[in-house]
């Protein structure tokens, strides 16, 4: 018996791997890319299952946060709430303030002096019994004058500054970090000792308490827990509360939107990977047919031949699988970080079982793909396998294709190339399938990204116009901040209308009221003035045109079980106001939008902070000069103007990033499949190429012939793949929207216009050409004498 190191079978396997360097490299890269894509897509899919619940457990989330008046309770009364029946954990009290900051000079993206949204800051440490904060960028507070903002929901970047004009000395806070809070109980965090410096004169900071309960699985149980806590505090001491179920619902809704497109990309990637691996491996075994005859001639049994070629396939495949797992895990760090910002989750990385399962499934596919041709080759008679020449004779179909192609009014090198795929129809069909799936992936990815961006633009219509007026005075105007009244708002409306450059304006008021026959309250947004130009994107129906009409998003329609055309009755303290639903708008919020005149019968109290103006400018108007002039005009009324701007939609940003990465991986896998197939065909026909070169075929004609051999494949794949990709986009996007509680307007689905369609249709040809370029170049450089001596 031979020693292990001299095992003939082992030497044959190692020699085959080292001798066929290009084939080994292609097989390694194909397996690596396939495993990387599968690990990443599978990891994202697993990560999107219950992300909030995972983060809640890891960061010791609070079931309930309660804001309590700082003037109504003392420390002893707050401590007593820890002993309420059902309370299992508490944190706090933490001092809290609602600031009305402005942008300080030196910011990179926001003009100095612009008012910012009301910001609730909490003075607390980074950790504690409940709601651990996770710093995602920058660092935690290390000194005075610093603030940490929520990651993914911050209007500022690290290093930006804000000024608090209401506090003594106008203190400035510098953003030093971004952090994630699973419960979302604050708009920013400062050191507890910073709170006194931020407190306006005559104001007492409120207190925030965090609670966990033995039973808090439903809204009813959380409501009962909230009532139990409030019962031991003085009447009126509780200012507000936030349930973890609200954040969980939002996170679950976001994660549900990820699932359809991850499943689509994952299925495409997995199927394409298996297909390409199959054609690469089976082609490699088939190409070694003559060498198999040599092995059998020197005494190797059919079983040994099968094992030898399985080994030659599994060695590079195993190397590629290991590299793919490593690369997939490395890519998962930034990619899952983006996804987790949208999902309000914590990155746990790729699960270990996936790191094992994906390469094992891949290697099983490699084994299956290699086993069939290897067993078939092992069963060949030695004489058949040793037949001189590796190029199989074309069948009747292939000869017919050559005959028909020769009649085309094209150069001979082009007609030869066009007929080549028909000599190996099965291999060409698999190559076409790989290119087709790549084209489907590109079309789907491009369509998804364009549609998502249009949806994001539609969602940003809640801040219409180029200029927004807020109920806060401009910084440095000398006007003390105060609550504006109805007279101020009327005067501001007149000043806006009289301002040169105003094309249109509308006053927008946010209020809460009840819907008759339904529990709880809903948010109602009233538009005063001509709001047609400021309408949100319509899904169905139309925008309201008069008092008594309203529009609503799908979330409202579903929550109240109503449809466009129905009438709902708003009620407040015994007063009622019926409104007819005339349209559905694009929004993920549960709210009703109507003419302000519809709310007049309710006599709702004015909440100054809830009133803004949206302004559209005439063409050619300088926005900066307009804002400066209007702010000066509004200063006596306690208001100021700022540029309008929509918030960055972190969910859309995450999906765009993931779609781009996964699409590139699909294209890479498809390109490698084409490269391998053309390489096999070219090397099998190297003797024929030598004959053609001896008859005058020039190098550039050789390149053209090889590229022509994949042109039909690319064109057919594009013609078939693009419609499938469009169909996939029109199927997946509505499923994502349904998971988010909204619907997609038809205009946001119809993103494939003629120039884009032509580019995508040509994409299959481009993909096939790029994959075939390297083998074509090799064929052109092959010396004629060497090619003629090749069997």
Helix extents (H) in 153-301: 195-198, 219-231, 244-287, 289-297
Residues 496 and 577 in one domain: yes
Q: What does the mean pLDDT of the chain come to?
A: 80
Residues 275 and 219 in one domain: no
Please tell me the predicted confidence (pLDDT) of residue 715: 87
Residues 722 and 767 in one domain: yes
Residues 143-169, mean pLDDT to the nearest whole number: 85
Please tell me the predicted confidence (pLDDT) of residue 550: 94
- Residue 479 scores a pLDDT above 60: no
Banded pLDDT at 485 (limits 50, 70, 90): confident
Please tell me the predicted confidence (pLDDT) of residue 559: 80
- Residue 395 scores a pLDDT above 70: no
Residues 98 and 227 in one domain: yes
Residues 465-493, mean pLDDT to the nearest whole number: 75
Reported as a single tens digit per residue, the pLDDT across 104-149 is 887 766 667 766 777 889 999 988 888 888 888 899 999 899 999 9
The DSSP bridge pattern shows strands 172-180 and 161-163 to be: antiparallel
- Residue 252 scores a pLDDT above 60: yes
Rounded distance between C-alpha atoms, residue 697 and residue 633, angstroms: 81
* Of 345 and 514, more confident: 514
* Of 398 and 672, more confident: 672
Residues 497 and 525 in one domain: yes
DSSP for 644-689, please give it: --PPP-HHHHHHHHHHHHHHHHHHHHHHHHHHHHHHHHHHHTHHHH
Rounded distance between C-alpha atoms, residue 185 and residue 208, angstroms: 9
Reported as a single tens digit per residue, the pLDDT across 193-220 is 999 999 888 888 999 999 999 998 888 8
Reported as a single tens digit per residue, the pLDDT across 598-648 is 999 988 887 777 888 999 999 989 988 898 899 888 888 888 888 876 555
Please tell me the predicted confidence (pLDDT) of residue 3: 45
Highest mean pLDDT among 68-77, 151-160, 514-523, 671-680: 68-77
Name the domain boundary from 612, 643, 674. Answer: 643
For residue 527, count CB atoms less than 10 angstroms from its CB and return exposed for 0-12, middle for 13-18, buried for 19 or more. Answer: buried
φ and ψ of 602, to 5 deg: -80, -20
Answer whether 348's CB lies under 8 Å from 54's CB: yes
Residues 446 and 496 in one domain: no
Rounded distance between C-alpha atoms, residue 72 and residue 238, angstroms: 9
Share of the chain above pLDDT 70, in %: 79
Banded pLDDT at 4 (limits 50, 70, 90): very low
Name the domain boundary from 236, 256, 291. Answer: 236
- Residue 693 scores a pLDDT above 70: no
Please tell me the predicted confidence (pLDDT) of residue 512: 85
Residues 700 and 768 in one domain: yes
645-651 CB contacts, 8 Å cutoff, 24+ apart: 645/463, 646/456, 646/457, 646/459, 646/460, 646/463, 647/155, 647/460, 649/456, 649/459, 649/460, 650/152, 650/153, 650/341, 650/342, 651/254, 651/257, 651/342
Q: Identify the helix (H) or strand (E) that includes residue 374.
A: helix 352-378
In CATH, what number is assigned to the domain containing residue 491? Answer: 2.40.40.20
Residues 665 and 592 in one domain: no
Reported as a single tens digit per residue, the pLDDT across 398-425 is 556 556 666 667 777 777 777 777 766 7
Residues 207 and 258 in one domain: no
Banded pLDDT at 345 (limits 50, 70, 90): low
Q: Name the least confident of 153-162, 234-243, 738-747.
A: 738-747
Domain that holds residue 524: 467-643
* Of 581 and 376, more confident: 581
Cβ-based neighbour number of residue 463 at 10 Å: 15
- Residue 40 scores a pLDDT above 90: no
Total domains in the fold of the chain = 4
Q: Could you tell me the two tokens for 700? A: 């550039």
Q: Name the least confident of 205-214, 436-445, 657-666.
A: 657-666
Q: Could you tell me the two tokens for 418? A: 């066009």
Does the model's pTM come out above 0.85?
A: no
Q: Could you tell me the two tokens for 569? A: 């009755």
Residues 413 and 264 in one domain: no
Name the domain boundary from 608, 643, 678. Answer: 643
- Residue 653 scores a pLDDT above 80: no
- Residue 385 scores a pLDDT above 70: no
Contacts for 104 with CB less than 8 Å, ≥ 6 apart: 112, 160, 161, 162, 163, 172
- Residue 593 scores a pLDDT above 90: yes
DSSP for 452-517, please give it: HHHHHHHHGGGS-SSEEEESSPPTTSSPPP----HHHHHHHHHHHHHSTTEEEEEEEEEEEEEETT
The residues pairing with 731 across neighbouring beta strands, listed in sequence order, are: none
Please tell me the predicted confidence (pLDDT) of residue 55: 76
- Residue 184 scores a pLDDT above 60: yes
Please tell me the predicted confidence (pLDDT) of residue 391: 46
Residues 656 and 566 in one domain: no
Q: Name the least confident of 237-241, 695-699, 719-723.
A: 695-699
Residues 226 and 302 in one domain: no
- Residue 713 scores a pLDDT above 70: yes
Banded pLDDT at 390 (limits 50, 70, 90): very low
Rounded distance between C-alpha atoms, residue 245 and residue 223, angstroms: 11
Q: Identify the helix (H) or strand (E) that includes residue 400.
A: helix 396-406
Q: Name the least confident of 84-98, 106-120, 540-554, 764-778.
A: 106-120
Please tell me the predicted confidence (pLDDT) of residue 388: 44
- Residue 309 scores a pLDDT above 90: no
């Amino acid at each position: 018996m031979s020693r292990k190191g001299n095992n003939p079978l082992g030497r044959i396997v190692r020699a085959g791997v080292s001798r066929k360097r290009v084939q080994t490299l292609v097989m390694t890269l194909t397996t690596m890319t396939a495993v990387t894509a599968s690990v990443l897509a599978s990891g994202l899919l697993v990560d999107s299952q219950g992300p909030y619940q995972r983060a809640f457990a890891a960061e010791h989330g609070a079931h309930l946060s309660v804001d309590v008046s700082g003037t109504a309770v003392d420390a002893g009364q707050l401590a007593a709430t820890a002993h309420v029946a059902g309370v299992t954990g508490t944190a706090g009290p933490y001092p809290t303030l609602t600031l009305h900051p402005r942008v300080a000079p030196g910011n990179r993206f926001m003009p100095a002096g612009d008012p910012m949204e009301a910001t609730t800051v909490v003075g607390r440490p980074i950790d504690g019994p409940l709601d651990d904060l996770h710093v995602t960028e920058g660092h935690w507070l290390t000194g005075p004058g610093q603030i940490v903002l929520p990651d993914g929901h911050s209007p500022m970047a690290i290093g930006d500054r804000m000024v608090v004009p209401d506090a003594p000395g106008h203190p400035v806070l510098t953003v030093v970090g971004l952090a994630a809070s699973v419960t979302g109980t604050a708009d920013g965090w400062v050191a507890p000792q910073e709170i006194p410096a931020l407190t306006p004169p005559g104001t007492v900071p409120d207190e925030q308490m965090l609670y966990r309960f033995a039973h808090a699985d439903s809204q009813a149980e959380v409501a009962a827990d909230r009532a139990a806590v409030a019962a031991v505090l003085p009447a009126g001491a509780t200012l507000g509360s936030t349930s973890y179920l609200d954040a969980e619902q939002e996170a679950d809704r976001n994660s549900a939107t990820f699932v359809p497109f991850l499943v689509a990309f994952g299925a495409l990637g997995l199927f394409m990977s298996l297909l390409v691996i199959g054609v690469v491996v089976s082609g490699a075994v088939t190409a070694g047919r003559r060498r198999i005859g040599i092995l059998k001639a020197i005494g190797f049994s059919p079983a040994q031949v099968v094992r030898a070629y399985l080994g030659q396939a599994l060695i590079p495949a195993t190397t590629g699988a290991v590299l793919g797992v490593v690369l997939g895990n490395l890519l998962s760090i930034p990619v899952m970080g983006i996804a987790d910002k949208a999902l309000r989750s914590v990155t746990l990385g790729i699960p270990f079982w996936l790191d094992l399962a994906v390469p094992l499934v891949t290697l099983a596919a490699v084994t299956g793909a290699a086993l069939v041709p290897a067993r078939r080759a092992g069963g060949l008679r030695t004489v058949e396998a040793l037949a001189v020449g590796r190029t199989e004779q074309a069948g009747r179909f292939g000869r017919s294709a050559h005959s028909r192609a020769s009649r085309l009014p094209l150069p001979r090198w082009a007609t030869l190339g066009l007929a080549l795929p028909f000599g190996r129809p099965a291999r060409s069909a698999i190559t076409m399938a790989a290119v087709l799936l790549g084209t489907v992936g590109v079309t789907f990815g491009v369509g998804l990204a364009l549609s998502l961006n249009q949806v994001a633009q539609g969602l940003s219509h809640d801040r219409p116009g180029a200029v927004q007026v807020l109920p806060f005075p401009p910084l440095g105007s000398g006007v003390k901040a105060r609550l504006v009244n109805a007279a101020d708002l009327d005067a501001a409306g007149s000043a806006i209308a009289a301002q040169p450059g105003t094309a249109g304006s509308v006053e927008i008021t946010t209020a809460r009221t009840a819907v008759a026959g339904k529990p709880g309250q809903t948010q109602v947004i009233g538009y005063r003035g001509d709001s047609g130009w400021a309408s949100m994107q319509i899904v169905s129906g139309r925008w309201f045109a008069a008092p008594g009409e309203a529009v609503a998003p799908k979330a409202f329609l579903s929550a109240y079980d109503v449809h466009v055309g129905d009438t709902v009755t708003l009620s407040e303290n015994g007063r009622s106001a019926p409104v007819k639903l005339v349209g559905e708008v694009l929004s993920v919020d549960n709210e009703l939008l109507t003419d302000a005149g519809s709310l007049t019968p309710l006599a709702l109290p004015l909440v100054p902070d809830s009133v803004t103006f949206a302004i559209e400018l005439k063409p050619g108007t300088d926005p900066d000069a307009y804002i400066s002039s209007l702010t000066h005009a509004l200063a006596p009324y306690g208001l100021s103007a700022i540029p309008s701007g929509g918030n960055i939609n972190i969910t859309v940003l995450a999906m765009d990033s993931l779609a781009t990465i996964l699409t590139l991986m699909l294209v890479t896998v498809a390109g490698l499949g084409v490269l391998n197939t053309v390489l096999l065909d070219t090397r099998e026909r190297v003797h024929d190429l030598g004959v053609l070169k001896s008859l005058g075929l020039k190098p550039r004609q050789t390149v053209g012939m090889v590229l022509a051999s994949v042109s039909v494949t690319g064109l057919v794949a594009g013609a078939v793949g693009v419609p499938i990709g469009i169909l996939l986009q029109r199927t997946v996007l509505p499923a994502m929207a349904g998971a988010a509680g909204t619907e997609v307007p038809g205009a946001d689905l119809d993103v494939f216009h003629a120039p884009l369609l032509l580019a995508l249709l040509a994409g299959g040809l481009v993909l096939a050409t790029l994959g075939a370029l390297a083998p074509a170049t090799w064929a052109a450089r092959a010396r004629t004498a060497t090619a003629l001596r090749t069997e």
